[in-house]
Structure 1
Amino acid sequence: MASIPPDEARPAKNRLKVAVMGAGAVGCYYGGMLARAGHEVVLIARPQHAQAIARDGLRLQATTFDEQVRLAASTEPGAAQGAQLVLFCVKSLDTESAGALLRPHLAPDALVLSLQNGVDNAERLRSVLPRHAVAAAVVYVATEMAGPGHVRHHGRGELVIEPVHSASLSGEAVAQALIAAGVPTEISPNVRGALWAKLILNCAYNAVSAITQLPYGKAVAGEGIADVMRDVVAECQAVASAEGVQVAGDVDAAIRKIAETMPGQLSSTAQDLARGKRSEIDYLNGLIVRRGEALGVATPANRVLWALVKLMEARRT
């Protein structure tokens, strides 16, 4: 396993000061990639991860390399002081509370990028951080925390972000830094549609993987599962249409691509249940159920998956 020296020894062009709020698997991956490219990064994480990273660096085990990346880590939101860019990676159920903890420490010109599941996190975060630039991002990456301070990357990694700029940093500059760090990134004027496309993927896969505790490739091969997923997707599309959302891309092709490109990946919902943690199911299938009720759209397949995951949460948490 190679070791990457501190980022001071490998300065990036237009070096950014970056904080990652809620550095779990997703935050550690993107923060690690930026640090590996020479940006000044601090990960704000749970104690076991922060302690391991502060001591040994972050083990970033990607599909093409396995390196120990040296970067800062803390358990305190105050570590975001002075950051130009904040990658906001907390669970959807913690958006407002984590945003409130972060608010006193944000620089006035900081740009906050929401790298979260669900479709309304950036909007909710703006209500907590009304004086700061907040942008939504759509995340397509398969990662897991394999141990304290150890993130394992299973595939993909691209981001889609909405046009935004703070007083000192533009979305274009952020995209360029991410691309230079090896993260495929695009800026899209239809991030709402892209968020809904990702939501539909999550609704199709996450609960099924969680209930079965199987990775995507094995779960979709189960008898009748393809039909269940088809029903879930049709309901999601009906709700999106009733919402007036133009869902981005070819959803059916994207559904197939997930199983092909991430066959060994357990969903984040499955990982949460396995660890006895609350999941984001209320912001995935649960959101479809709530919006369907409000809009008069029936969502029985999503309701069954949401209810079963909630039962499993109650048993394990």
Structure 2
Amino acid sequence: MTSTASSRQRVAVIGLGGIGGAAAGALTHAGRHDVIACGRRPLERMRVDLPDESVEVAMTVLTDPADASPVDWVLLTTKAQDTDGAGAWLRALCGPDTTVAVMQNGIDHAERIASYAGGAEALPVIVYYNGERIADDHVRMRHISDADIALPDTDTAQAFIDLLEGTPIQAVRAPDFTARQWQKLLINIVVNPVTALTRQRQGVLQREDIQTLTTALLEEAAAVAEAEGAGLPASVAADTQRLVLTFPHDAGSSMYFDALAGRRLEAEALTGAVVRAGARHGIPTPMNGAMLALLRALSDGMGT
């Protein structure tokens, strides 16, 4: 995919939750590209609370993949466990010149979409911004980091940065992209599973017995990350443990809210990624493996 900051392109956003709704709204408001959203329900307009203004934008929303055709860019913003459900959209939207920006958690972005994207290039994206879906037609975006998204240090990543010009979404090319992926994954394998399984907000992480558990989870994952060549410091497990203890006690997590709502859990992209990578390198991950078994059992009892 080649791009210039001035070229008008066709962009499809799959998923209109907090992350996708904010991206679709910001791109539509910037007016530089032709944006369609792919969702379950029709929507004519959406209110988007951006960091510096609140706007209302007219939306073009498709509800049937049969109505879609290949575009220049696909932004896949569903949760990782919903990728299969987005498969029909990916097949309809992807052509030989399409790039799929995979705006999901985990480390195996390209592999996750390979069977659906028909050879389209996958661009892994680490999302830091907070996107909150307040109503079907109302989303809010907030900056929570110096950058809203991080990308590999590639020409394709630069093309995506050019695509976002004129929006408040701040993107950076990160030479340490693999390290960033694993840093975020380590946080996620602690905060998400523990809050989901205990049905408690992040204050539960302050318990000494829970800290014993999370230390073990992190030490296993840190060993796997080293084998994967992530380039993280030797202190990453302890650093991550200290970091999560600073999070607000009343904050939830995406997996916590999914568990409360009876939705399937993002276990495979988070804890599952550690267990699979450990198996590839012959590194035992018994604590994460036990956590994954519990999460799978809980998720199997959920809806969609």
Structure 2, unpaired ranges of 5+: none
Structure 1, unpaired ranges of 5+: 1-11
CA contact (8 A) 2:91 2:117 kept: yes
Return the structure number with greater helix share: 1
Q: Partner of 1:281: helix, strand, or coil?
A: coil
1:42 and 2:32 aligned:
no
How far 1:89 sits from its partner (Å)?
A: 1.8
Deviates more, 1:228-237 or 1:94-103: 94-103
How far 1:190 sits from its partner (Å)?
A: 4.3
Tell me the matched-pair count.
Answer: 295
Alpha-carbon spacing, 1:293–1:112, altered in 2? closer, same or farther (3 Å): closer
Q: Alpha-carbon deviations, 1:258-304, whole Å to 9, x = none?
A: 67577664322122222212111022112323333453323233234
Q: Where has structure 1 moved over 6 Å in runs of 4 or more?
A: none
Alignment equivalent of 2:191, drawn from 191, 198, 205: 205
In structure 1, distance between residues paired with 2:126 and 2:250:
21
Aligned to 2:104: 116
In structure 1, distance between residues paired with 2:233 and 2:8:
32
1:246 and 2:242 aligned:
no
Aligned to 1:159: 149
Q: Partner of 2:132: helix, strand, or coil?
A: strand
How far 1:150 sits from its partner (Å)?
A: 2.7
Q: Partner of 2:129: helix, strand, or coil?
A: strand
Aligned to 1:303: 289
CA contact (8 A) 1:78 1:105 kept: no
Q: Superposed, which structure 2 residues align to 1:16-165 within 5 Å? A: 16-39=9-32, 40-47=34-41, 51=42, 53-54=43-44, 57-62=45-50, 64-78=52-66, 80-95=68-83, 98-99=86-87, 101-153=89-141, 155-156=143-144, 158-164=148-154
TM-score by length of structure 2 reads: 0.80
CA contact (8 A) 2:195 2:201 kept: yes
Q: Partner of 1:87: helix, strand, or coil?
A: strand
Letter in 2 for 1:283: A
In structure 2, distance between residues paired with 1:243 and 1:226:
25
How far 1:27 sits from its partner (Å)?
A: 1.2
CA contact (8 A) 2:19 2:131 kept: yes
Deviates more, 1:228-237 or 1:260-269: 260-269
CA contact (8 A) 2:179 2:230 kept: yes
Letter in 2 for 1:239: V
CA contact (8 A) 1:85 1:112 kept: yes
How far 1:215 sits from its partner (Å)?
A: 4.0
Aligned to 2:216: 231
Alpha-carbon spacing, 1:97–1:71, altered in 2? closer, same or farther (3 Å): closer
In structure 2, distance between residues paired with 1:213 and 1:63:
31
Alpha-carbon spacing, 1:88–1:220, altered in 2? closer, same or farther (3 Å): same
TM-score by length of structure 1 reads: 0.78
Alpha-carbon spacing, 1:99–1:260, altered in 2? closer, same or farther (3 Å): same
In structure 2, distance between residues paired with 1:248 and 1:15:
42
Q: Could you tell me the percent identity over the aligned residues?
A: 29
Deviates more, 1:183-192 or 1:277-286: 183-192
How far 1:160 sits from its partner (Å)?
A: 1.2
Q: Superposed, which structure 2 residues align to 1:182-197 within 5 Å? A: 182-197=168-183
How far 1:206 sits from its partner (Å)?
A: 0.9
How far 1:310 sits from its partner (Å)?
A: 2.8
